[in-house]
A and B are shown apart, each in its own frame.
Chain A
Amino acid sequence: MSAEVHSRGSIRRRLMVQLLLGAAVLAIALFFIVQSLARQLAEESQDNILAAAVSAILDTTSVRDGEIQLDLPYSAFSMLSNISNDRVFYAVRFGDDFVTGYSDLPVVTKDDSFGPWFDTTTYQDDEVRIVTAQRRLASGETPLAVEVTLAQTRDGQRDQLMWISQSAAALGTGFFVSVAVLALLAARSSISPILRLTQSVSRRGPKDLRPVAAPVPHEMVPLVAALNSFMDRLKNSLTRSEEFIADAAHRVRTPLATVRTQAEITYRRVEKDENRASIREMIRAIDESSRAAGQMLDHAMVTFRTDHLEQQAIDLNALAAEMIDRLHPMAELREIELVLEQQGAASTIGDTILLQSALRNILDNAIKYSPADSVITLIVSQDAGMAHLTTSDRGIGLPIDDAERLKSRFARGANVEGVIGSGLGLTIADEVARAHGGYLTIANNSKGPGACVTLSFPLQ
């Protein structure tokens, strides 16, 4: 009966989402960084070449007879066409006079530095990178500045940046996809210890309260330590309550024996029929209490012994015969005949004391619920690798609908209101059978009234 567990969120999903968000942010950042670096590089290289070209032109200038001499070097323009097929514009000015080139080409606004000065502007409906540089030439009394302005369109750079953007986008996407795959694997592998722990805990039997021994990741140590300590406390608490019950039963049984002896003595002394009847009633109640205490002790013992099960060969025929002998006096009191039917050899491996306890409880039950002057048969048989001890009586039978419930502690049939009992007998038998790898079968006799209870154990 597992209580409902409330769940909120998922470690795997949270891990995935966080990793993917991180990867997306990184991929986008990567894209923009690559793009901006590429832009910077492309702009720088264009600036460098423009500066080299403009200084190559300036180097050819001189003044002769107060007039500017200029020999535009072919290399100045051909180096510009080396990086891209961009349009080129130029203008040369001497002092305030326009010398040659494109007279409407704008001049870069100069600051205090020596130049060259760069700017990005629009010329002839196209974006151009423009550079202006100066050189002072001696002309007459005062030096005059010759100023060369060179401009180049940026189509090539735009194409290059487009290509780099596409590459960067592909790179970013590739990065994101690989991280997504890695994130999936990482999320799966990081929750696998939790799954392993869950499996190892849920695979356990109902009484397995051993601490988890398999190594777990560092982060799970507190959880597993808490689980282990919880199970330890649970086990201690269970043991304590079993011990308490056994102790209590034991303490009750001894004084009960004294009380019974005294009651019997008193019984013999009193003579009035009504007094005798009430004392008989008293003795019967004392017997029931003592029997219940005995069964509780039995149960405690079974619980203890199944934890440390002895493994020895047991001859079931001998065991059955001995048990019949032992219970004979009690059956005789009620004039019930115990018949042992042995259908060949049958033996198993197990704990003799437990098997005796199981069989005794079943026979005890049978005697208790059988009418006086009837027969109880115990059959020892075997088939298909199992040995069976089948007890059938002529009693009131069992409510079969309830068969499974009868195996649980303190459960009693709906039809036994009048008979005193603890409800532990079948529980003990069931636990013993299961501890030995066998089972307990509860049925009603097919012919006539009475119950038929079978203990089955694997053959040796």
Chain B
Amino acid sequence: MRHLIISLAVILWPFSASAFDIEERVVFGAESNPQTVRVISTGDVRVFEPMINGFLAENPTVTVDYTVVSSSELMKAISIDKAAFDVAISSAMDLQTKLANDGFTAPYSSQATEPLPEWARWRQDVFAFTQEPAAVVLSKDAFAGLPMPQSRQDLISLLRQYPDRFRGKIGTYDLRDSGLGYLFATQDSRTSEVYWRLTEVMGALDAKLYCCSSNMINDVASGKLAIAYNVLGSYALSRADKDRFEVMLPTDFTTVMMRTALIPQNAQNKDLAEPFVDYLLQVAWNNTGQTSQQPYDSTATLAGKENSLRRIRLGPGLLIFLDEYKKRSFLTAWENAILQE
């Protein structure tokens, strides 16, 4: 490979005049290259690196400036700061949809965007490039001697049957902190009432609340948790110690999140952003044999489970749960169920 990472990861790069918090910033490709495409993303550098290198191999005169932020910071950067990013990649489908709905995106249509399935695109603004299930991660040790649950109903009856075995050993997202957790929870609640039943059962067993998938998986792997509910399946399956736990996709329904890319309205290099988005979508959808470059590839995990998949639908429906009143009332109901004070 001609194109190697030239710059190293810089933690908390001092971003002059920026009001949003940056977690990490990496520049791929030679810095002397005349053109730079600036990407703001919620995805780990490690995961996107193969894809970006693939892109650079096809566009040797381009540099990719990759900035990692949280999804809410990304929203802030694009909508409030109007920071000059050329591509915005986020797992927060609701926030990406809101950016597009509120006119912060530039529409784009190409041979790469047209073949996308209808559910993988909203208008000509938001393009999905992954399908990642919300999974239940179960510790093999904790379930020794018990049948592995396959659905939420199984889980509820096991928890009711062995409350003491699982008390304090259930983890789930703290919806007040995690946008992704909130998205999963609201979509679960839309799909079935069983979500509320499960939340109440988990609340009764002193569920622990987490900010992020990786922390939950760490605790399952270490034995601190028996069950982690609504964890990103792609994270769990990509771990080296994945034989310590089982990743269960509930057979009653599996909520599927899609990471999306968009081109912000005030992108400075739209002519670079467009081939970057094209490349990203081609890697994701065209079966070009570059699955090694596909970030968070869950194709194998989801294969054959089409009937139970509930893909989160891009569109204005996602705006509903972003509404302050709606969010307040949803969180109140959730707190009542999970905290049970």
A-side residues, CB < 8 A to B, are 70-74, 76-78, 80-81, 85-89, 92, 99-101, 124-126, 155
In the bound complex, CA of A283 to CA of B193 (Å): 144
Known contacts A81-B315, A155-B123: A87-B323 contact under CB 8 Å: no
| B321 partner residues in chain A, CB cutoff 8 A | 74
| A124 partner residues in chain B, CB cutoff 8 A | 102-103
| B162 partner residues in chain A, CB cutoff 8 A | none
In the bound complex, CA of A451 to CA of B6 (Å): 126
Binds A, one of B20-28, B36-44, B200-208, B324-332: B324-332
| Inter-subunit contact B320/A74 (CB<8 Å) | yes
Of B315, B320, B321, chain A has the most CB atoms within 10 Å of the CB of B320
| A92 partner residues in chain B, CB cutoff 8 A | 325
Minimum CB–CB distance from A187 to chain B (whole Å) comes to 49
| Inter-subunit contact A77/B316 (CB<8 Å) | yes
| B2 interfacial contact with A, CB 8 Å | no
| Cross-interface CB contact of B323 among A72, A78, A81, cutoff 8 Å | A72
In the bound complex, CA of A86 to CA of B317 (Å): 11
| Inter-subunit contact A70/B325 (CB<8 Å) | yes
| A125 partner residues in chain B, CB cutoff 8 A | 103
Query: Interface size (B, Cβ < 8 Å)?
Result: 19
| Inter-subunit contact B329/A126 (CB<8 Å) | no
Minimum CB–CB distance from A146 to chain B (whole Å) comes to 12
A-B contacts, 22 of them at CB < 8 A, read: A70-B329, A71-B326, A71-B329, A72-B325, A73-B320, A74-B320, A76-B320, A77-B316, A77-B319, A78-B315, A78-B317, A81-B315, A81-B316, A85-B315, A87-B102, A87-B103, A88-B316, A92-B325, A100-B325, A124-B102, A125-B103, A126-B103
Chain A interface mostly = mixed
| A126 partner residues in chain B, CB cutoff 8 A | 103
| Inter-subunit contact A81/B123 (CB<8 Å) | no
| B311 interfacial contact with A, CB 8 Å | no
| B320 partner residues in chain A, CB cutoff 8 A | 72-74, 76-77
Known contacts A71-B329, A85-B123: A100-B324 contact under CB 8 Å: yes
| A70 partner residues in chain B, CB cutoff 8 A | 325-326, 329
Known contacts A124-B102, A125-B103: A87-B326 contact under CB 8 Å: no
| Inter-subunit contact A81/B103 (CB<8 Å) | no
Residues 266-285 of B, flagged 1 when their CB comes within 8 A of A and 0 if not, give: 00000000000000000000
Known contacts A87-B101, A87-B103: A81-B325 contact under CB 8 Å: no
User: B189: nearest residue on chain A (CB-CB)?
Assistant: A74
Minimum CB–CB distance from A298 to chain B (whole Å) comes to 100
In the bound complex, CA of A126 to CA of B100 (Å): 13
| Inter-subunit contact A80/B123 (CB<8 Å) | no
User: From residue 87 to 102 of chain B, which have CB atoms closer than 8 A to chain A?
Assistant: 100-102
In the bound complex, CA of A80 to CA of B315 (Å): 9
| A86 partner residues in chain B, CB cutoff 8 A | 123
Known contacts A77-B319, A81-B315: A88-B324 contact under CB 8 Å: no
User: B324: nearest residue on chain A (CB-CB)?
Assistant: A100
Minimum CB–CB distance from B128 to chain A (whole Å) comes to 14
In the bound complex, CA of A155 to CA of B125 (Å): 13
Known contacts A71-B329, A124-B103, A126-B103: A101-B316 contact under CB 8 Å: no
User: B102: nearest residue on chain A (CB-CB)?
Assistant: A124
| Inter-subunit contact B103/A80 (CB<8 Å) | no
Minimum CB–CB distance from B149 to chain A (whole Å) comes to 28
In the bound complex, CA of A360 to CA of B320 (Å): 123
Residues 185-213 of B, flagged 1 when their CB comes within 8 A of A and 0 if not, give: 00000100000000000000000000000
| Inter-subunit contact A88/B319 (CB<8 Å) | yes
User: B121: nearest residue on chain A (CB-CB)?
Assistant: A85
Residues 297-341 of B, flagged 1 when their CB comes within 8 A of A and 0 if not, give: 000000000000000010111011101111001000000000000
| B102 partner residues in chain A, CB cutoff 8 A | 87, 124
User: B187: nearest residue on chain A (CB-CB)?
Assistant: A74
| B122 interfacial contact with A, CB 8 Å | yes
In the bound complex, CA of A87 to CA of B317 (Å): 11
**9 tightest A-B contacts by CB?**
A88-B316, A81-B315, A78-B317, A77-B316, A70-B325, A124-B103, A85-B123, A77-B317, A87-B101
Known: A70-B329, A78-B317, A124-B102. 7 other contacts (CB 8 A): A71-B326, A72-B320, A74-B320, A74-B321, A78-B316, A85-B122, A100-B323
| Inter-subunit contact B101/A72 (CB<8 Å) | no
Minimum CB–CB distance from B195 to chain A (whole Å) comes to 14
Of B100, B316, B325, chain A has the most CB atoms within 10 Å of the CB of B316
| A101 partner residues in chain B, CB cutoff 8 A | 323
Of A77, A85, A124, chain B has the most CB atoms within 10 Å of the CB of A85
Residues 90-127 of B, flagged 1 when their CB comes within 8 A of A and 0 if not, give: 00000000001111000000000000000000110000
Known contacts A72-B323, A72-B326: A78-B313 contact under CB 8 Å: yes
